[in-house]
A and B are shown apart, each in its own frame.
Chain A
Amino acid sequence: MDRTLRHTDDLAALAGATPPPQTPLLTVDVSVSYGEKPVLRRAALTVGEGEILGLIGLSGSGKSTLGLAVLGLAGLRGARVEGRILFEGRDLLRLGSRELRRVRGQQIAFVPQSPLAALNPALTLGTQFREAWQAHSSEAGWLGRVFELLEQVNLPASEGFLRRLPQELSVGMAQRVLIAMAVLHRPRLLIADEPTSALDVITQAEIVELFRRLNVGAGTGVLYISHDLVSVAGLCHRLSILADGEIVETGETRRVFAQPEHEHTRKLVAAIPGLGSDVHFFGFGPGASR
C-alpha cells in the first residue's frame, strides 16, 4: 500500500465519525430559474437532524442559489423558486413573509462566503449583535450570550471588542464573528455558503473545526456549501454532488470518496491532487468502471 491509498483513507477517515442521523430536518426538492434560464432542476437533498451535509458543485452550478432559496432570499437576486422546502415538517415556500422572517436567523441561520462584505461597515459589532438578537428576542441578556459565543469562537469577549467596526477585523475574525452571530439563537440548521473560500489554509482549518464543534456540541445541522471536495472531507457526514442543475449523487463521505458513482463525482475525486491517477490504479477510482 502506498502513500496515495493512505491519503484516500485519511480523507475518508476524517469524515464524521458518527453515522448520519435518520430524522430529516430539511428536505429540499426545488427547481430554480433566473428569468427563462433554469439554474436548478428538481434538485433534491435532505439534511438530517444534527447532520453535516456537504453540497458540492462547481462555481456557478447553483449551490449558493439553493442556500438562498432555503432562506427564502433567492427572490432578492431575481430567482423564481418552485417545488418544496420542508423544514421540520413545514413547507417554507408556502410561508408568509412574516413567518419566514421568524424562521430566518432563529431556526435557520446563514454563514456567508465573504465575511468582510457581510458585516455592515457603518455599525459596530455590538450594534450588529444586538440587532441580530432583537430580531427574535426582547429579552435583556443578549450581552452575556454574545460574550459566551465570542469565547467559543476564540475572539475577545469584551465590550472593547464590540465597539470595533468591521473594517478593524481580519477576514478570519470577521468570519468568526459571523459564525457567533449565526448561532446566537441556537438555530437547528446552519447554511454555510463557502465559509472558508476567502481564508488562508490555517484559518480555513480553524473555521472547519469550529463548525465541527458546533455540530457536536449543540447538535446543529449544517448544510455546508463548497466547491472544494477536500475541505469538506473531514467535516461532512454525507455529500451531495450538484452538477448541471441537478443533484447527481448523494452518499456518505467515505463512500463518495472511495466509490464515486456518477461521472461528475469521479472527475471531482480525480481532480484532487495526488489522488486521481493512483485511485485508478487501486481499482475504485474514476477509471475503474470504464
Chain B
Amino acid sequence: MKTGIRRTALGVLATLALAAAGAGYLAPAPYDRQFREEPNAPCSRRFPLGTDELGRDRLSRLLYGARVSLLLAPSAALLATVAAALAGGAAGWLGGWTDRALMSGANLVLAMPWMFLLIAVRAALPLNVDPGVSLAVTVVLLGGLGWVPAARALRAGMLRLVRSDFLLQARAAGCGTARLFFVHALPNTKGLLAAQFWTAVPLFLLAEANLSLLGLGVAEPMPSLGNLLRELESFHHVRSQPVVLAPLVVLVALVTCCQLAFPAREEGMR
C-alpha cells in the first residue's frame, strides 16, 4: 500500500516535471506574449485555460511557471543543504567556540524578522529588475534563510559521529583530520542530508508561492506558481473563471507528492 502511494506520487511528480521541462515544446505561446485583442478570454480550443487580464495564455504561463518553481525550489534546497552541511558539520565536528559561534549565528537567523528583511531586499532592487536576477535573489534568500533547521540536525548527527567507535578506530589507524572528515564522517551524513533536502523542497515551493504572492519573489513577466496565484486575489474572478485555480491545484499536487514520495525519514543517519 505504502509503495503504491509512493509510486503514484513519484509518477505524478515525474509527469509534472517532464511537462515543466518541456514547456518550450508543449506551451502554445511564449509566457509573455500578449494577445491584446483577447484579454480575460474564457477556456477555448486556442486558449485551453483562457487568458489573463493582459491577454497572456494561461496554459503557457502555467507550464513555464511550474518550470521556474521546479527549478527554484530544489536549487534553494540544495543551497540550504550545502550551507547546513558546512555549518552544522563544522559545528559538530570542531565543537568548542566554533560550535558556539555557528549556532549563535543560526539562532540569529531564526530570530530575524525575515519578512522585513525580504521587503528591505526587494526595496533595494530596482523596480524593473531583470526576472533572472529576481529568480537568483529568491534562491539565495530562501537558501540563506532556510538552512538553520537542517544545520541543527547535521550538528546533532555530527556530534554522534565524532563520538562513534569507527571514527575512533580511523584515528587509531592514523588517518589525518581532513580524511577523517571528508572520507570517514561525511559519507555517513548522506542519508540525513538527503532527508533534509527532500524536506526543504516542498517548503521552498510554498515559500516561493508566499513570497511571489506578496510581490517579493519572482518578478513579472516571468511566471512562477507563486505569482500565478495572484489571480486568486479577486474572489469574483475565481467565481467567474474557476480555471484560475489551476496553478493552486498544481502547487498542492507538487507539495503533496513531494511529501508522499520522499517522506521525512527519522533514520536519516546511518
Contact = CB atoms under 8 A, between A and B. Distances in A.
A134 to B, nearest CB: 8
Contacts of A117: 164-166
> Which of B170, B187, B188 is the most central at the interface, judged by chain A CB atoms within 10 Å of its CB?
B170
Interface string A164-192: 00000000000000100110000000000
B168 A73 contact: yes
A10 B176 CA distance: 46
Contact of B169 (A102, A118, A134, A136): A118
Interface string A111-147: 0101001111111000100011011100000000000
Interface residues of B, number: 20
Interface string B125-162: 00000000000000000000000000000000000000
B173 interface: yes
Given A121-B188, A122-B190, A123-B187, A135 B166 contact: no
B166 A76 contact: no
Interface of B: 164-176, 179, 183-184, 187-188, 190, 270
B169 A122 contact: no
Contacts of B171: 71, 73, 76, 104
A94 to B, nearest CB: 18
Contact of A120 (B170, B172, B174, B176): B170
B166 A104 contact: no
Nearest to B179: A131
Nearest to B175: A135
A106 interface: yes
Contacts of B165: 112, 114, 117-118
Contact of A104 (B167, B174, B187, B190): B174
A131 B172 contact: no
B184 A123 contact: yes
A109 interface: yes
Give 6 closest A-B pairs by Cβ, nearest first: A105-B174, A110-B172, A122-B187, A105-B173, A117-B165, A135-B174
Nearest to B188: A122
6 contacts: A105-B175, A106-B174, A134-B179, A135-B175, A135-B179, A136-B174
